[in-house]
Structures are given as C-alpha cells and as structure tokens.
Structure 1
Amino acid sequence: MSVIDARHLDGVSETALLTLHQRATEAARPDGIIDDPVAIALRDALDYDYQDFGRTHQATALRALVFDEVTRDYLAAHPRATVVALAEGLQTSFWRVDNGEMTWLSVDLEPIMALRQQLLPTSDRLGQCAQSALDHSWMDAVDASGGVVITAEGLFQYLTEDVVFDLVAACAERFPQGQLVFDSVPWFLSEYSQRRGFRLSANYTVPPMPFWFTARQYPRLQSIPGIRAVRELRYPAGRGKLVPWVTRQSYRLSGLARFRAPVTLVEFS
C-alpha cells in the first residue's frame, strides 16, 4: 500500500481514524483480542499523527467483536444475505466475517469512500454508496432476497434522537425479516461530551454525542411498527484481569444497566 494523506478528515469522519487506530493497535499486540491484519495495513498506509488520539485501549476491538459475532450468526442462517455497513468509516469487518457468499454494502461520505477505494482490497461482492446513511436512498441498492443485516457501528451517538428512530423505523419497514445492530453511549457520557467536550488528549476532542440509549429504553424501540424483538448483546470478557471483572459485574448487577453502553440487536418482523 502506498501512503495516503488522511489529515483532511475532520468532525465525525475523523473518528474513523480513531477507531481504526484503536483496533489496529490491539490487533498488533502479541496478546491482542482481535485478528485484523487488514486494519494494521490500512492504518500504516495513512499519513496521520495517531498520537493525537492519546492512549489506546481494547474497548473498540471488543465492540468490533460483538458486531462480528452477530453478523456471523445471521450469515450462518442466511449465507447469501446482504450486510449493510452504515457510516462504515475505516472498519475492516468484511475481511473478518466474509463467508465467501454474502454481499457487503459500505455506506459513508465521499472522502471516506475515496480512501477505502484507494487502499482496501477489492471484491465483486463489496459495494459502495458514497453518501450519508441518513439519505435513505442507499436502501435502493440493497438486494434483500437473501436477507439483510444492517450494522451501525459507532454511528448513532453522533445523531439526534429523532433521526435515529426515523432511520430505524425506515429500515424496519423496508427490510422485513432483517436485522439491525447498533451501539450507543450512556447518558452521562453524552451529557459530558456536549457540555465540556470529551477530550482524549491535548490535541483531540471527540465530537459531541447527543444521542444516548440504554437497555432500559428498549420498550421505545419495540413500539416501532415492524420490530419483532430487541435484545442486548454482551461484550466478550476482554484481555487482562480488570476488564473481564468489570464486564462481569456490569451484567451481574441490574442497577448498572443504566450505566452500560449496550450493543443492541433489533429484529424486524
């Protein structure tokens, strides 16, 4: 791969570099929890000062593993399904879960798609829509005959509540028998990011995250027409001693549900 300047990305698009760096750094560790050689190669092919993001951690890789698991589960039952990755950024999920039969549709803004097209391997089963995930016309490019699973990894927290629920409702109406999986942040992190800014280092502050959501709000999702079931997906234990202990406690103690940042699976009817 040739080195490409990525310093033109800003705002929410710049978070694609943050999550890529976190995931690739974890994958490069001898004891890393995720196998992602494509992410390592992609990170190294981009000209960007990743040190601006501060310390690395395993949380982004843990989240990716949850999304990988639910995608593999759906593909096990629907091997020729279409996976739609909304605001995919610089994720490399396709190469981690590819079963050789499914179709993948990556949806993101033009600057991100240009980098993906320049630097990532190609496949005749990998399509691109260079547009906002909020422009619902991407749905017209989806072949739903074999089933559809839609991923929104690291997206919804940067949107507003009405936009999120409108998008979920549109997916439920358009793709019966499909699924949507998304992650979210708890209320206190959302509030802090909007009031004071969530600073990762002296040089980088995460964009405001107006949308927060926890498992306690699942009845709101279940009230949307076309939604059959909603459930929380558990994070894997993780590496080390502290992270697995904290993860176990967060699920064991019901009072902590409002502090968790759940990954949520929505099944359409």
Structure 2
Amino acid sequence: MTAIDARHLDGVSETALLTLHQRATEAARPDGILNDPMAITLHADLDYDFQHFGRTHQATALRALIFDRATREYLAMKPRACVVALAEGLQTSFWRVDNGELTWLSVDLEPIVRLRRQLLPPLDRLRYCAQSALDYSWMDQVDDANGVLITAEGLFQYLDRDLVFDLIAACAKRFPGGRLVFDSVPKFLSTHSQRGMKLSEHYVVPPMPFSFTANQYEELRAIPGIRNVRELGMPAGRGKVLRWAGPLLYALPGLDRLRAPHTVIEFG
C-alpha cells in the first residue's frame, strides 16, 4: 500500500497525528501497556515525519486505557449502545472495545474523516459524520434506543469554556440515560500551553484555553439533566515509578486541583 500523505493537517487537527504516534509507539513496545495493532498499522501507512513531535511518553496510552475501561463499563450494561466519538481524530478505539454488537459514530472534520476512510477498514456498524462536534446536527444521526455513550477524548481543552458547557448541556437534554466521558487539563497546564508549550524544537502544542479539574464538579452537577459526575482512576503505567505513582496521584483527593481528570457524566 502506498503511504497516505498526512502533511496537510495542522493546528488542532495535527494533534491527531501526535496522539496516534504516542499510542502506536507504546503499542509496538514488547512491554507496552496498550494492545493496539490497528494503531501500529495506521501509523505505518501514513506519510508523515512523526519524529518532529519529539520524545514519546505513556500519557496518551494511559488515557486510551481509561476511555476504553469507561466504554466497556457502559457496554457491559448496554451492549448494543451507540458510541459517539466526538473529534475522534485517528483514534482506533473501535477495534479495541468492539463487542460485535455496538454501533459507532465517528464525528470529525472532513480532512480527518477522509483520512480515516482511506486508511481504516469499512464496517457496517461504523459510520462517519464529517463536521464539527459543535454543529449539533450530528445528534440527529444517533440511534439512542439501546443507549448512548459519547466520548470527547482530547477535545474539550482546545475549546472555550462556554462552548464546552453548552455542548454538555445539549447532550444531557438530548440523551437522557446516556453518558459522556471527557478528559481535561489543570490550570497550570492550560496557562503553559497558551504561552507556547514546545514538545520539541519543531513542534508547539496548540493553545488549550479550557482548564477543568475534579474540584469543580459541582459546576457540572448544576447543569439540568445531569444525574452524576465522577472521576475515573488512573491505571498502572509501565516502569517502577508509574506503576504506583499514577494510581496514587488519582486516588488522593487533596491533589484534585493539580491532576488532569478523566470524567464520566451520567445523564438523568
């Protein structure tokens, strides 16, 4: 197969390549924490200089494991649910969590959807919606008869606060009984990113204006239609330190202002 050119992606869309690189590199390790052969294949099929992102790390793979666990938890109760992946980028979550019954709606901008269609195998239960997650018309394509799980992995931090809260409120109103899972960043990381956070000599992370931590959950609980909000724990990482430090960091309530939370919202 001829490699597909991905050099046209920039801005926030380019972070899809960054996170793919992190996941595929981790999955390719003999001692990797993430089993993701589809990410390895997708990574190899793209024409892109991934090395300009600089050093790789486990954080993106750990995030993927957390989202996978939350997805499987919901599917254990509602195996035929529709999973809606907002701003999915080049994630390969479907192939990690597919139970043979779920349906999947991938929502992202047209350049990303075009790449996904070129590179990933077509499946009857996997559909695409080429538009912004902030264009709520994607909701009309969701069959919620068997439950709905909405994921926003690596999305909200790049949006303004009002846009995030409006989207959450719209989902709560439209999909009672469903859930939404998202990740966010603490204030210090948001501030650092807006000053120009360099991962390497060649790559600067896009600004992340939205910061949100677990000590702010009451703001979510005040939104009509939200029944419960909870933070997900961190799985053990690779290596002597991350095997215990990550789970401990996310278990101590006094550190909730400092850590980057992974949040589940249950709609009433």
Match in the other structure for 1:17: 17
Cα drift, residue 241 of structure 1? 1.0
Distance 1:262 1:241 in 2: 22
Letter in 2 for 1:255: G
Q: Matched residue of 2:231: which SS?
A: strand
Instruction: Give how far 1:252 is off.
Output: 4.3
RMSD value, Cα: 0.8
Q: Determine what percentage of the aligned residue pairs are the same residue.
A: 73
Mapped partners of 1:40, 1:210: distance in 2: 31
Does 2:203 align with 1:204?
A: yes
Q: Secondary structure at the match of 1:182?
A: strand
Counterpart check, 1:131 vs 2:123: no
- Corresponding position of 1:5: 5
Query: Structure 1, residues 35-63: CA drift from partner, whole Å, max 9, x if none?
Result: 10000000110011001100000110000
2:152 touches 2:182 (CA, 8 Å); kept in 1?
yes
TM-score (norm 1): 0.98
Matched residues in 2 for 1:115 and 1:14: separation?
Answer: 12
What secondary structure, in the 3-state scheme, does the structure 2 residue paired with 1:164 have? helix
2:44 counterpart of 1:44: yes
* Partners of 2:252 and 2:76 in 1: CA distance: 32
- Partner letter of residue 211 of structure 1? F
Partner residue of 1:232? Answer: 231
Distance in 2 between residues matched to 1:172 and 1:248, nearest whole Å: 30
Structure 2-normalised TM-score? 0.98
1:205 partner letter = V
State the partner residue of 2:107.
Answer: 107
- Report the Cα distance in structure 2 between the residues aligned to 1:28 and 1:228, rounded to whole angstroms: 40
Q: Which runs of 5+ in 2 are unaligned?
A: none
User: 1:255: how far off?
Assistant: 2.5
Contact 2:24 2:43 in 1 (8 A): yes
Q: Which runs of 5+ in 1 are unaligned?
A: none
Cα distance in 1 for residues equivalent to 2:60 and 2:4: 24
Which residue is equivalent to 1:193?
Answer: 193
Map 1:75-86 to 2 at 5 A. Answer: 75-86=75-86
Number of matched residues?
Answer: 268
**What is residue 245 of structure 2 aligned with on the other side?**
246
After TM superposition, give the deviation of residue 256 of structure 1 in Å.
Answer: 1.5
- Residue of structure 2 equivalent to 1:98: 98
Aligned partner letter, 1:42: L
